[in-house]
Amino acid sequence: MARSILNEFSELFFPRLCVCCENRLVTYEEHICSSCLSDLPKTKHLANPYNKLEDFFAGRFPFKRIASFAFFIKEGSIQKIIHEFKYRDNPLLASYMGNLCGKEILKYNALEDIDMIVPVPLHPKRLRKRGYNQSLLLAEGISQLIKKPVNGGNLIRKINNPSQTKNSRFERWKNTKGIFEVIDKSIFEGRHILLVDDVITTGSTLETCSKLILESENAVISIFTLGSAI
């Protein structure tokens, strides 16, 4: 009873707002209001084994499945969500979105044979500045739902390359060469790895990481991201 009164008092001065529309959340809502949640532009990639992303990556490296949870549209809800947890210190939102991704994966039973979830890593310098790796939080949120282990330490980023937001696809691909490393290839041997990141733009980072993982004998790769700009 006392906790409820304190929560109500806190809400008067620090109301919980939807990260998408900034309307006040009701008691049972978390981070995103029910209306914005239902309006998320889901891709339904996992329902289609020949989706647009898989066509995009075809021939670049061997993979089993590639999918995103929702479309990344300029000024859209997924852009706002990713900006919130990457630049406004909201790690709980990243974990929450990971749970939503996990529910989507379970819904289609498309990745039930994966063995391990691997997040795209941050360089230690950037990790110290942000305080967390949003891709690791997404991976852990997915793991909670699909009950597969996360390995966040075997694929590392050894070079802290600058932001590539304004770079072309070729420039991004060139700038990702040599910046990642797999510490122990035997950990990925014979495993079906689900590589997780926040958003696909040109695909250069995911391609580079996938090719490194596939250097492990009999490794299989699938990819899942929260957003897709493709």
DSSP strands (E only) in the chain: 66-71, 116-119, 155-157, 180-182, 192-200, 220-228
Residue 155 pairs with which residues in a beta bridge?
182
pLDDT 10s digits, 193-227? 999 999 999 999 999 999 999 999 999 999 999 99
Residue 158: phi and psi, rounded to 5, are -95, -15
Looking at residue 184, what is its pLDDT? 98
Looking at residue 6, what is its pLDDT? 46
pLDDT 10s digits, 100-127? 999 999 999 889 999 999 999 999 999 9
Domain coordinates in residue numbering, the chain: 7-39, 41-228
Give the HSE-up count for residue 69: Cα atoms under 13 Å, Cβ half-sphere: 28
Find out whether 95 and 137 touch, Cβ atoms under 8 Å. yes
Its CATH architecture, for the domain 41-228, is: 3-Layer(aba) Sandwich (3.40)
- Largest Cα span, the chain: 60
What pLDDT band is residue 2 in, cutting at 50, 70 and 90? very low
131: left (phi over 0), alpha (psi -120 to 50) or beta: left
